[in-house]
Structure 1
Amino acid sequence: MAAKWAATGGRLRAVVVANGDEGDPGSFADRLLMEEDPDRVLEGLALACFACGAREAVVLVRSEYPKALSRMREAVERAYADGHPGARVHGSEMTLDVRVVAGAGSYVAGEETALIDGLEGGRGCSRPPYPTDQGLRDAPTVVNNVETLAAVPWIVAHGGAAYARRGVPAQTGTEQPMRAKSIGDVSGFGCAAVSPRVCGVDHGGW
């Protein structure tokens, strides 16, 4: 994430894209975040734009996620009503325009250059060069997935070192645990420490 931001930061016409076009079978982390906490996703996206000097942001939502698409659009409308994006954000020199679009629905469109090709009206085909060099409409473009951007507000508030301590040595930071994974593997504590009240479900055998 930092390398992408550094490669794009400060260059004119930079764009940040939130990639919510996850295509891995059984992967719904991005969908869950967009449906349940779209404001956090937008906050992370805005912080990324601030870091990169970008004035344009795009949230790409997988076409099979109508609820996520609706929730993200509602969140953007609320954000504009509160004065967060737009011209001279909260009296500053920063200007930010945010739009939400539905993805093409093909698996390869989740790949960064294919995703950008789809945003430009193409077939969603992979292509050189790397987006930070030449991306959306030839502008330097950062593409981060939704889960990454959703983590940014906490990192900004508490620091990168504190965020890294929340994971395990082989995989620092947090991750959205899925039922197919061991919660202990991704959160750094055993399943016995996870109460049914926190998880919302009790399988009995844990």
Structure 2
Amino acid sequence: MTFSNLCNEIFWKSTTDYHVTDSVDAPMNNPYELKTIEYYLYLKNWIDAVQWHFEDIIRDPQIDPVEALALKRRIDKSNQDRTDLVELIDSYFLDKYKEVKPLSDATINTESPAWAIDRLSILALKIYHMQQEVERTDTTEEHRLQCQTKLNILLEQRKDLSAAIEQLLADIEAGRKYMKVYKQMKMYNDPALNPVLYAKK
């Protein structure tokens, strides 16, 4: 099984598992061994699924302002957890390919493997929810057809992105490309870098 196929399989399992309860407060029951790459991929998509629904909830025009603020705090934490996990997944690849010597003409990619995999996780959620729209019975045929067209595009995008990830990993393994990971410096979460926060000290 290719790595992208593994990702797609785990992301789909996590997405469907989440929607058994469809609750942002449901506990995650990760079926994979702790600290394995499979465990982290499942966790990655679960975080994405919860955040997807956070974003739905906070857009409710009738939401209570106090609840909205509390939810915004949860979204901020979820964003940080997501970023930290992507960087952890990149660490897996850095370790896996640490013995590879880049060729003299090796180039760097515009994004690391884990950030490409991040997009693959989001695609799983887009595909799931677009499929739900296609299967709705309380809407018009026009709506369903429009959603089917979008679903077809998303499925093609997943195929293309999966192939691109496989090509990137093959290039890194062969030394044609090399990894260089930059930590995501989210300044708004850092009390030492957010002027609103450090001004209150």
TM-score by length of structure 2 reads 0.25
Q: State TM-score, norm by structure 1.
A: 0.25
Larger Rg: 2
More helix by share: 2
| Higher share in strand | 1
